[in-house]
Chains A and B, each alone.
Chain A
Amino acid sequence: MSAPVGISIERVARSFGPVQALVDIGIEVRAGELLALIGPSGCGKTTLLKCIAGLLPVDAGRIVIGSRTVTGPGGREASLVFQDFALLPWASARENAEFGLLLRGAPAAERTQAARRALAKVGLAGSFEDAYPAQLSGGMQQRVGLARALAVNPQVLLMDEPFASIDEQTRRILQDDLLRLWSEERKTVVLVTHSMEEAIYLSDRVVVLSPRPGRVHRVLEVPLPRPREALDVRASGEFARLVDELWQILKKLQ
Chain B
Amino acid sequence: MKFDGMKFALSAPEPPFGRAGLAAIAGLLVVWEILGRLELSIFIPSASTVAVAWWGLLTDGTLLRSAGSSFGSLLKGFLPAAAFGIALGLCMGRFRTLREVLDGWINALMSAPLSALVPVLIALFGVRDTVVAATVFLFSFFVIVVNTMTGVRGTERSLVEMARAYGASEAALFVRIYLPGALPAILLGVRLGVVQAVKGMVVGEMLISLVGMGERLVYYGNTFLIPELYAVIVSVLLVALLSATLVQACERALVRWK
A residues neighboring B (CB under 8 Å): 53-55, 73-75, 79-80, 82, 84, 86, 88-91, 99-100, 102-104, 132, 134, 152
B166 touches A99 (CB 8 A): yes
Q: How far is the CB of A60 from the nearest CB of chain B, in Å?
A: 22
Q: How far is the CB of A223 from the nearest CB of chain B, in Å?
A: 33
Inside 8 A of A74's CB, which chain B residues have their CB? 164-168
Interface residues of B in 200-257 (CB under 8 A from A): 255, 257
14 pairs, CB–CB < 8 Å, chain A vs chain B:
A73-B165, A73-B167, A80-B162, A82-B158, A88-B176, A88-B177, A88-B180, A89-B181, A89-B257, A90-B181, A90-B255, A91-B257, A100-B166, A103-B166
- What is the bound-complex CA distance between A134 and B258, given in angstroms? 8
Q: How far is the CB of A158 from the nearest CB of chain B, in Å?
A: 9
- What is the bound-complex CA distance between A103 and B257, given in angstroms? 21
Q: How far is the CB of B185 from the nearest CB of chain A, in Å?
A: 13
Select one of A73, A90, A104, A132 contacting B164, CB under 8 A.
A73
Q: Quick check: is B159 within 8 A (CB to CB) of the other chain?
A: yes
Select one of B156, B165, B167, B257 contacting A134, CB under 8 A.
B257
Residue interface bits B138-166, CB-to-A below 8 A is 1, else 0: 00000000000000000010110111111
- What is the bound-complex CA distance between A75 and B255, given in angstroms? 32
Interface centre among A55, A100, A103, A104 (most CB of B within 10 A): A103
B165 touches A55 (CB 8 A): yes
Interface residues of B in 167-183 (CB under 8 A from A): 167-168, 172, 176-177, 180-181, 183
Q: How far is the CB of A10 from the nearest CB of chain B, in Å?
A: 22
Select one of A54, A86, A104 contacting B159, CB under 8 A.
A86
Q: Bin chain B's interface residue count.
A: 20 to 34
Inside 8 A of B162's CB, which chain A residues have their CB? 80, 82, 86
Inside 8 A of B172's CB, which chain A residues have their CB? 103
A152 touches B159 (CB 8 A): no
A135 and chain B: residue at smallest CB distance:
B257
Q: DSSP majority for the B interface?
A: helix
A55 touches B167 (CB 8 A): no
B161 touches A86 (CB 8 A): yes
- What is the bound-complex CA distance between A91 and B183, given in angstroms? 13
Q: How far is the CB of A251 from the nearest CB of chain B, in Å?
A: 31
Q: How far is the CB of B176 from the nearest CB of chain A, in Å?
A: 8
Inside 8 A of B257's CB, which chain A residues have their CB? 89-91, 132, 134
Q: How far is the CB of B32 from the nearest CB of chain A, in Å?
A: 43
- What is the bound-complex CA distance between A90 and B180, given in angstroms? 7
B158 touches A103 (CB 8 A): no
Q: How far is the CB of B253 from the nearest CB of chain A, in Å?
A: 13
Inside 8 A of B183's CB, which chain A residues have their CB? 90
- What is the bound-complex CA distance between A102 and B162, given in angstroms? 13
Inside 8 A of B158's CB, which chain A residues have their CB? 82, 84, 86
Q: How far is the CB of B33 from the nearest CB of chain A, in Å?
A: 45
Inside 8 A of A82's CB, which chain B residues have their CB? 158, 161-162
B180 touches A55 (CB 8 A): no
- What is the bound-complex CA distance between A73 and B257, given in angstroms? 29
- What is the bound-complex CA distance between A80 and B168, given in angstroms? 14
Closest 6 CB pairs of A and B: A74-B167, A86-B162, A90-B257, A100-B166, A80-B165, A86-B158
Contacts A73-B166, A73-B167 known; 9 new A-B pairs at CB < 8 A: A54-B165, A75-B167, A80-B162, A82-B158, A82-B162, A84-B158, A90-B181, A90-B257, A103-B163
B158 and chain A: residue at smallest CB distance:
A86
- What is the bound-complex CA distance between A86 and B168, given in angstroms? 14
Q: How far is the CB of B210 from the nearest CB of chain A, in Å?
A: 46
Inside 8 A of A103's CB, which chain B residues have their CB? 163, 166-168, 172, 176
- What is the bound-complex CA distance between A74 and B181, given in angstroms? 21
B173 and chain A: residue at smallest CB distance:
A103
Interface residues of B in 33-83 (CB under 8 A from A): none
Given contacts A103-B172, A134-B257, A134-B258, contact A88 B166 (CB under 8 A): no
Q: How far is the CB of B252 from the nearest CB of chain A, in Å?
A: 14
Inside 8 A of A134's CB, which chain B residues have their CB? 257-258
A149 and chain B: residue at smallest CB distance:
B166
- What is the bound-complex CA distance between A75 and B167, given in angstroms? 7
Inside 8 A of B164's CB, which chain A residues have their CB? 55, 73-74
